[in-house]
Amino acid sequence: METVLLHLHPDFSEELESVIQKWNNAQPHFNFKGIRPPKELETDLLIGGAIQANDTFKIAEQIRKHLRYSQQDGIMIFTEKRIYEGDYYQLYFIGIGNKSSFSLDFTRKFFGQKQFNGEYIFRAILLNILNSLSQKAGIDSHDETRGCILDFCNNMPDIIYGIESGPKFCDSCAKKIKDQGKEYLFDLAKAAMNTKELLEQDKIVSKRVGSYEKVRLQESSTEFDYDIALSFAGEDRKYAEQLAKELIKRDVKVFYDGFEKANLWGKDLYVYLSDLYRLRSKFCVLFLSQYYNSKLWTNHERKAAQSRAYKENKEYILPIRLDNTEIPGILDTTGYLNWQDEGAVNITSYLLQKLNSTSA
């Protein structure tokens, strides 16, 4: 029998424990075990912000080790943080091998969706575990959304469809399961759908999760770590610094590398900065100049910032021109400000207007 260790999050541990009990009584194939992580490992999960998927797995592994469970045991943890990986800017769930993590930040958004009536957090957990058990049994996932356990969903409406209609298997997956003699997977899906006390308890735990609009230890984790990141060539540092200081005066959270020396020390800068420009700041201000264009470093930053701008389909890059150099990839249609015309004070007030219009 498989064991899956399930993080008893302090906000809903009792409710979750009760739903685990009902699940374990409903079927004989796999067993949930509620665990309380040690405080020093759990705290990071409870603070808002952003985290790479892989770092959540590392924490999960440490928790499992600390509690002296076997590496064969699955483990699933909750975090308040926004989870990101590769091109995915925000994930609600991610599992690799027998480790998986849920973003509560995103899970709460489920409950906020108008078209979503259900309150099924435990069902969502089961769905994802059944997905990994099925894949382990040799049944591949499919890109097409069929409300099937093996759907590969990468947008909200598909995820919601899967949760509301399942967990269940589509005809083609059901046939593969029969062919491979893995019928216990049907029992699991049925237990999830047909056990009345389980469904009722799921509502209770889901209500509890949804009732926390804010994260426990910080305000909303949907907020970015920075309001504005500054990307500039070394030669143009004096302009960036001027703007950074002006922004700080107005309480804007600004990423300017001159303020972050201790934080950056020893980090893999290529990955760190690429994540930062792409994922952790609301806006990115580029200082365009002859130097900016010639620097590989700033080009790397610019590419990261652009890849996000294209994905999100909204203005994210705010260019400031220091001179008239053409910068490849910055479309002529992108509005920009001229440093010479505006200066740090005016630009700061425009940035404040931008920030106010997005937080409304």
User: Which residues contact Zn ion by CB under 5 A?
Assistant: 148, 150, 170, 173
Q: Which is nearer to Zn ion, 165 or 334 (CB)?
A: 165
Q: Which is nearer to Zn ion, 15 or 151 (CB)?
A: 151
What amino acid is encoded at 260 in this protein? E
Q: Which is nearer to Zn ion, 142 or 216 (CB)?
A: 142
Q: Which is nearer to Zn ion, 130 or 170 (CB)?
A: 170
Kindly give the interhelix angle for 39-46 and 53-66, rounded to the nearest 10 degrees. Answer: 160
Question: Residue 97 pairs with which residues in a beta bridge?
Answer: none
Compute the least distance from the CB of residue 142 to Zn ion, in Å. Answer: 6
Q: Which is nearer to Zn ion, 192 or 317 (CB)?
A: 192
Vertex 184: Cα angle to 128 and 100 (nearest 5): 20
Pairing of strands 226-231, 93-96: unpaired
Q: Which is nearer to Zn ion, 104 or 153 (CB)?
A: 153
Q: Which is nearer to Zn ion, 173 or 285 (CB)?
A: 173
SS3 306: helix
Q: For residue 73, what are the contacts with CB-CB under 8 A and spacing of at least 6?
A: 3, 4, 5, 33, 64, 98
Compute the least distance from the CB of residue 185 to Zn ion, in Å. Answer: 11
Q: Which is nearer to Zn ion, 158 or 241 (CB)?
A: 158
Compute the least distance from the CB of residue 189 to Zn ion, in Å. Answer: 11
Tally of residues, the chain = 360
Bond into 38 cis (ω within 30): no
Instruction: Measure the CA–CA gap between 73 and 5, rounded to whole angstroms.
Output: 7
Residue 249 DSSP symbol: H
Beta strands, E only, 61-128? 74-79, 82-85, 88-91, 93-96, 99-103
Question: Among all chains, which residue has been given the structure tokens 């504005």?
Answer: 228
Compute the least distance from the CB of residue 175 to Zn ion, in Å. Answer: 10
Compute the least distance from the CB of residue 155 to Zn ion, in Å. Answer: 18
- CB of 344 within 8 A of CB of 249? no
Beta strands, E only, the chain? 2-7, 30-35, 50-52, 74-79, 82-85, 88-91, 93-96, 99-103, 226-231, 254-255, 281-288, 317-321, 337-338
Compute the least distance from the CB of residue 124 to Zn ion, in Å. Answer: 17
Q: Which is nearer to Zn ion, 24 or 154 (CB)?
A: 154
How many DSSP H helices and E strands does the chain contain?
Answer: 15, 13
Tokens of 80: 């308040």
Compute the least distance from the CB of residue 94 to Zn ion, in Å. Answer: 20
CA dihedral 87, 158, 122, 55 (to 10 degrees): 0
Compute the least distance from the CB of residue 51 to Zn ion, in Å. Answer: 30
Compute the least distance from the CB of residue 247 to Zn ion, in Å. Answer: 50
